[in-house]
A and B are shown apart, each in its own frame.
Chain A
Amino acid sequence: GAGVSQTPSNKVTEKGKYVELRCDPISGHTALYWYRQSLGQGPEFLIYFQGTGAADDSGLPNDRFFAVRPEGSVSTLKIQRTERGDSAVYLCASSLTSGGAYEQYFGPGTRLTVT
């Protein structure tokens, strides 16, 4: 079956611009997670959804970052007034439901470069 997909695979934008990153989770998975991964580092938690609601957004670095999941499936991560420090790979993962024992399936990521 189809795995987690993310679009675009690569995004280059100028400092100060607005970007949207999309995640399509595995069908039927109610939990969806966003992570950010810098070169040589492990993924860093940003936010996760259980259904349509953000269950925990404590990892969002500041108010320029926002994510939505209006229908409980596709999610969009939105970054306003991008800065060069936002450059990273943004990973999305989904699991059947939330709870530590459930396996998370990761997408291939979106590589964001802010020039």
Chain B
Amino acid sequence: KNQVEQSPQSLIILEGKNCTLQCNYTVSPFSNLRWYKQDTGRGPVSLTIMTFSENTKSNGRYTATLDADTKQSSLHITASQLSDSASYICVVSANGGGADGLTFGKGTHLIIQP
């Protein structure tokens, strides 16, 4: 069964600090991995999409890494800002399957404190 596990479940850090969120998956056959940011009461917004051949991708202060061998990904946030407070959802796409084979993690709830 395809699964995506994220850790930690929640995280609180001070403004200006860095943090790293983890995503482990068992999805086959792998197509791509996405990180989404979801603000409270809003729909998810895509941060990065990585295919099998990519092992890092940046979007501003967000940097995602992918290790397809160990089936792990991380999202690193640099110099956090209050607006980074949100849920971060890891989504893995398999070739074929419902909704293009997307399997969603439960997300990491990140709180940035001033």
Contacts and interface: CB of A to CB of B under 8 A. Distances in A.
Nearest to A56: B98
Contacts, number: 68
Contacts of A109: 41-43
Interface residues of B, number: 29
Interface residues of A, number: 27
Nearest to B6: A42
Interface in A35-70: 35, 40-45, 48, 56, 58-59
Main SS at interface, chain A: loop
A101 B51 contact: yes
Interface stretch (A71-79, A80-88, A92-100): A92-100
Interface of B: 4, 31-32, 34, 36, 41-46, 49, 51, 89, 91, 93-95, 97-102, 104-107, 109
